[in-house]
Chain A
Amino acid sequence: MIPAAFDYVAPKSVDGVVKALSSDADEIKILAGGQSLIPVLRLRLAAPTLLVDLRRIPELTGITEHANALTIGAMTTTAEIARSPLIRQHAAVLASAAHAVADPQVRHRGTLGGALVHADPAGDLPAPVLALDAEFIVAGPQGERVVRAADFFQDMFTTAVSEDELLTTIRVPKHTGWAAQYEKFNRVAQQWAIVAVAATVQVANGVVAEAKVALTNMGLTPLRATEVERALAGQAATVGLVRQAAERADASTHPPVDGNGDVAYRRSLARVLTRRALAKALGLDDN
Chain B
Amino acid sequence: MPEIEVTVDAVRYHDNVEPRTLLVHYLRDALGKTGTVIGCDTSNCGACTVLLDGLSAKSCTVLAVQADGAEVMTIEGVARKGELHPMQRAFHENHALQCGFCTPGMILQAIDLLRDNPSPTEGEVREGLEGNLCRCTGYHNVVKAVLSVAEGASA
Contacts and interface: CB of A to CB of B under 8 A. Distances in A.
B112 A104 contact: yes
A154 B11 CA distance: 47
A105 B58 contact: yes
A5 B18 contact: yes
A209 B124 CA distance: 35
Contacts of A39: 42-43, 61
Contacts of B41: 1, 42
Contacts of A55: 66
Contacts of B128: 104
B63 interface: yes
B20 interface: yes
Interface stretch (B49-57, B84-92, B96-104): B49-57
A34 B62 contact: yes
Nearest to A10: B65
B82 interface: no
Contacts of B134: none
Interface string A95-128: 0000000111110110000000000000000000
Interface string B126-153: 0110111000000000000000000000
A34 B64 CA distance: 12
A183 B84 CA distance: 41
Contacts of B18: 5
A123 to B, nearest CB: 14
Given A35-B43, A108-B56, A109-B61, A190 B130 contact: yes
Contact of B56 (A1, A5, A105): A105
A3 interface: yes
Contact of A103 (B55, B116, B130): B130
Interface string B32-50: 0000000001111010010
Contacts of B56: 104-105, 108
Contacts of A51: 19
Nearest to A41: B20
Nearest to B48: A105
A79 interface: yes
Nearest to B126: A189
Nearest to B18: A5
B44 A190 contact: yes
B130 A34 contact: no
Nearest to B20: A3
Tell which of B25, B49, B52, B57 has the most Cβ of chain A within 10 Å: B57
A100 to B, nearest CB: 11
A8 interface: yes
Nearest to B59: A105
A108 B61 contact: no
B2 interface: yes
Nearest to A5: B20
Nearest to B131: A103
A53 interface: yes
A105 B109 contact: yes
Contact of B55 (A31, A79, A190): A79
Interface in A1-23: 1-8, 10
Given A3-B20, A5-B20, A104 B65 contact: no
B22 A105 contact: no
B72 interface: no
B57 A2 contact: no
A60 to B, nearest CB: 15
B28 to A, nearest CB: 13
Interface of A: 1-8, 10, 31, 34-35, 38-39, 41-43, 51, 53, 55, 79, 102-106, 108-109, 189-190
Interface of B: 2, 18-20, 22, 25, 41-44, 46, 49, 52, 55-58, 60-63, 65-66, 109, 112-113, 116, 127-128, 130-132
Given A5-B18, A10-B65, A105-B61, 4 more contacts: A3-B20, A34-B62, A38-B22, A105-B56
